[in-house]
Chains A and B, each alone.
Chain A
């Protein structure tokens, strides 16, 4: 029942998002036909291409036509590359997925120990230093951080490539070296958010009565922290991981351009600039489904992390 309810909500969200994005994109000034044919094409040639692509049809007709295609798994064909949009997305999705997962792993992997350390020493020098570091990371735009990291790790030390992408299927080692800098760049902003959230929640949890009881029972501070305080303090963090997917995707657009990664974000941006409506729509559907799915998964994780939620 819950699954059906979620699916209905997903469908409503998808309809709203795709219609709005389709309408907004079509309201943008600029003509896809000029992007396809260039400046020197005649008016007759433009009319011919417009008709071939169905761009002479009203907006709603085009949207419904596209929606009908989606229902049968046909995402349409790119105006510019004339490739099926589904194939374009399938080719680029692994790149973006790997980048997002790697960024989240790096962010969480570093944020948890940092948050725990800061909470344990709340108000002391280490906490203040970590707080300052968090704010510095939060306030550094990803494109600045990316350029700095390239300068240090690629140009000066030459331990990773500055740009480029090697698929896992081609060479795992090269793949890891090509994803590490983009993932660190993307993950740093999230790291700061996660560390701050965890620190705040942990400090509150450490003042709970059951923690005082645990201390009175003689449990070690490490055991109290990692076994008894961390899990109930992670709810906000888990929520943020789900909600931040949107921010991560936004950051991925910049990161993919900066590091020359052939991902979905770059496809969407290029398609917006070239008014390739169907490619943009395909990307929007993909991101919307992904966003909703991740947040459903987050709801399920709540229950696994906190028994009180499971019982409720």
Chain B
């Protein structure tokens, strides 16, 4: 009578047995990890690290690097320069980077005694070949536009000749443009994209696209005693919720996240997890990008009305769990470049008055706001739509995927769009996005996506680029902030400091980063999810 149950029961039992047949789903073997957390860093161990997306490739000359790419690739390939915790740049593979008096020529002296993991020694001509490849690459050439030529001064020294003074030039060598690969990688860029080789603390072991990348300790690393870990597995887990669940289940040791609920949840479990958040210049800003070349946003009164109508604190409390700080410019208050004052604060009466003034001249104010379709972004956009409607501005929302949205932004096919940007370590990093020289007409590619043309703003950016005096630079960037607040090409919302690394308590040393000459390096950088070096990370025994 009840024998029909047998096949189903068998199947269920088989399923359960199958499920239980593997090992318990925790991260890999300890691999000789240290005995106690309190005894300080110790050699050995394996780390499994969850990333939100895969890299497009690992070749700094040909592949566009996002934050997740840097996480993986910087374990293998190193830059000429690094950023210190105080925001200054410091030599890394370079022994020194020295400007001439005018700052239109920089001399890069390469450290001796460093070798790539393929056995080739790092020399000046290899650095020169890398920089030349970067300047020739369609991917990175725009950044090196001010560079006229590279010359080999001696076997370990490269001179970089510029067409204009460029004070912040070394910062660009701290990222993709300054990462050095061996000649074989330059000769075979396709292989270099899949199997990176460098001078770094780890060596490439395995890469399965959209699944994992595994790197193992470089036993001949030029920095004595480093790295601590034997192996790192980067696991690509695009879904933010299941990534967090995998951490909770013990399947991985650390994750990158930008979800405020993860910060709240794991932050409350201090004994089991540590939460490391990006700070200062490393934090990007969330804002509405306005196209100042098209009506009605070509009218500064409309732009100011939008800023006055945006209640940033409500957005933060509603959408970010109160975790972020309101933004009034591209740099946060904990940045040395921040200058206070002048941003149109939330004032609905002022916003309404401005709208009425414009409407009396030009009629109703209506425009289209573009957003990516993901629920979090849409919530923010709908909240802004509601706030702006209260001031009398009618906004329709158009959804576009990331590729479409970016294309519209750079070609000018938009009125307003939601945007996240401005996490360069030096304000000069934002030069091409704000300078009027990069503002092109609608229909042309314009890196200055707001298309705002302002002499004072652009001259201040020029001063910041060429002046070696820090006080002068600070004054210049104060002017930049003042002009942005007056002309409102961006309606700022918040400093998106919810980008964080969450690690199980056995993982130590996240954000610890001592530079070769002893200075403290920048702990975390990049957005929306930050990245960090892995050289000084270590794990305690399970």
Chain B residues within an 8 Å CB radius of A173: 21-23
A257→B238 contact, CB < 8 A = yes
Report if A158 contacts B (CB, 8 A). yes
Among A30-38, A133-141, A283-291, A304-312, the one that faces the other chain is A30-38
Q: Does A65 contact B (CB under 8 A)?
A: no
Chain B residues whose C-beta falls within 8 Å of the C-beta of A151 in the assembled complex: 245
Are B194 and A83 in contact, with the CB atoms below 8 A?
Answer: yes
Is B237 in contact with A163, judged by CB distance below 8 angstroms?
yes
Q: A30-B403, A45-B141, A158-B24 are known contacts. Are A36 and B64 too (CB-CB below 8 A)? A: yes
User: A28 to B242, Cβ gap below 8 A?
Assistant: no
Chain A residues contacting B22 (CB-CB under 8 Å) are 160-161, 171, 173-174, 176-178
**Per-position binary interface string of chain B over residues 196-238, scored 1 when its CB falls under 8 Å from any chain A CB and 0 otherwise:** 0000000000001111100000000000000000000001111
Residue among B20, B26, B408, B409 with the most chain A CB within 10 A? B20
Q: Confirm or deny: B139 has a beta carbon within 8 angstroms of a beta carbon on chain A.
A: yes
Bound-state Cα–Cα, A260 to B238, Å? 7
Q: Is A146's beta carbon under 8 Å from chain B? A: yes
Of B7-15, B357-365, B496-504, B522-530, the segment with at least 4 beta carbons within 8 Å of chain A is B7-15
Q: Which residue of A lies closest to B10 (CB)?
A: A109
Q: A155-B245, A162-B246 are in contact. Are A257 and B141 (CB under 8 A)?
A: no
Q: Are A48 and B25 CB-contacts (below 8 A) given A39-B410, A154-B246, A162-B246?
A: no
Given contact pairs A30-B404, A116-B4, A158 touches B237 in the complex (Cβ within 8 A): no
B64, B241, B432: which has the most chain A beta carbons within 10 Å? B64
- Say whether A3 faces chain B, with CB atoms less than 8 Å apart: no
- Report chain B residues within 8 Å CB of A46: 138, 445
> Which residues of A, 152-203, contact B by the 8 Å Cβ criterion?
153-155, 158-165, 171, 173-174, 176-178, 180, 184
User: Nearest-CB distance from B65 to chain A (Å)?
Assistant: 9
Of the A-B pairs whose beta carbons lie under 8 Å apart in the complex, a sample of 6, sorted by A's number, is A29-B404, A39-B410, A41-B142, A155-B249, A173-B23, A184-B15
Q: Which of B1-52 contact A (CB under 8 A)?
A: 3-5, 7-8, 11-12, 15, 18-26
Q: Which residues of A contact B410 (CB under 8 A)?
A: 34, 39
Of A49, A147, A174, A262, the residue contacting B138 (CB under 8 A) is: A49
With A35-B403, A160-B25 given, name 6 new contacts (CB 8 A): A41-B141, A42-B138, A109-B7, A162-B242, A165-B211, A260-B235
Q: Which residue of A lies closest to B3 (CB)?
A: A222
Residue of A nearest to B444 (CB): A43
Q: How far is the CB of B18 from chain A (nearest CB, A)?
A: 5
Given A82, A110, A155, A165, which contacts B57 in the complex, CB threshold below 8 Å? A82
Expressed in whole angstroms, the Cα–Cα distance for A171 and B210 within the complex equals 19
B: residues with CB less than 8 A from A are: 3-5, 7-8, 11-12, 15, 18-26, 54, 56-57, 62, 64, 138-139, 141-143, 145, 190, 193-194, 208-212, 235-239, 241-243, 245-246, 248-251, 400-404, 406-410, 432, 444-445, 447
Query: What B residues does A275 contact at CB under 8 A?
Result: 403
Is A260's CB under 8 angstroms from B239's CB? yes
B9 to chain A, nearest CB (A): 9
B193 near A81 with CB under 8 A, answer: yes
- Which residues of A have CB within 8 Å of B409? 39
CA distance A75 to B280 in the complex (A): 46
Q: Are the CB atoms of A164 and B235 closer together than 8 Å?
A: yes
Report Cα–Cα, A46/B137, bound state, in Å: 11
Is A88 in the interface zone, CB < 8 Å from B?
yes
Cβ of A109 to closest chain B Cβ, rounded Å: 4
- Across the interface, do B242 and A158 meet the contact criterion of CB distance under 8 Å? no
- Which residues of A (43-102) have their CB < 8 Å from a CB of B? 43, 45-46, 48-49, 80-83, 88, 91-92
User: Are the C-beta atoms of A162 and B249 separated by less than 8 Å?
Assistant: yes
Q: Would B142 and A40 count as touching, CB distance under 8 A?
A: yes
B239:A37 contact, CB within 8 angstroms: no
The number of inter-chain residue pairs (CB within 8 angstroms) is 204
B12 CB contacts on chain A under 8 angstroms: 110
Q: Given A82-B190, A162-B249, A113–B237 Cβ distance below 8 Å?
A: no
- Which of chain A's residues have a CB closer than 8 A to the CB of B248? 155, 162
Out of A37, A80, A106, A116, which one reaches B15, CB within 8 Å? A106
**Is A112 part of the binding interface, using a Cβ–Cβ cutoff of 8 Å?**
yes
Cβ B8 vs Cβ A113 within 8 A: yes
Cβ–Cβ < 8 Å partners of A109 in chain B: 7-8, 11
Specify which of B193, B210, B407 is in contact with A29 (CB 8 Å cutoff).
B407
Given the known inter-chain contacts A35-B403, A120-B4, please indicate yes or no for A258 contacting B239, CB distance below 8 A. yes
What residues on A are CB-neighbors of B23 within 8 Å? 173-174, 177
List A contacts of B24 (CB < 8 A): 158-159
A225: chain B residues at CB < 8 Å are 4
Q: Across the interface, do B251 and A176 meet the contact criterion of CB distance under 8 Å? A: no
* Nearest-neighbor residue (CB-CB) of B447 within chain A: A40
Q: Is the CB of B15 within 8 A of A154?
A: no
Q: Is the CB of A82 within 8 A of B193?
A: yes
In angstroms, Cα B23 to Cα A164, docked, is: 14
Contacts A81-B56, A154-B25, A163-B237 given; does A40 touch B4 at CB 8 Å? no
- Among B5, B19, B407, the residue within 8 A (CB) of A30 is B407
* CA distance in complex: A46, B440 (Å): 15
Q: Are A30 and B7 in contact (CB under 8 A)?
A: no
- In whole Å, how far is B415's beta carbon from the nearest beta carbon of chain A? 15
Q: Is the CB of B245 within 8 A of A150?
A: yes
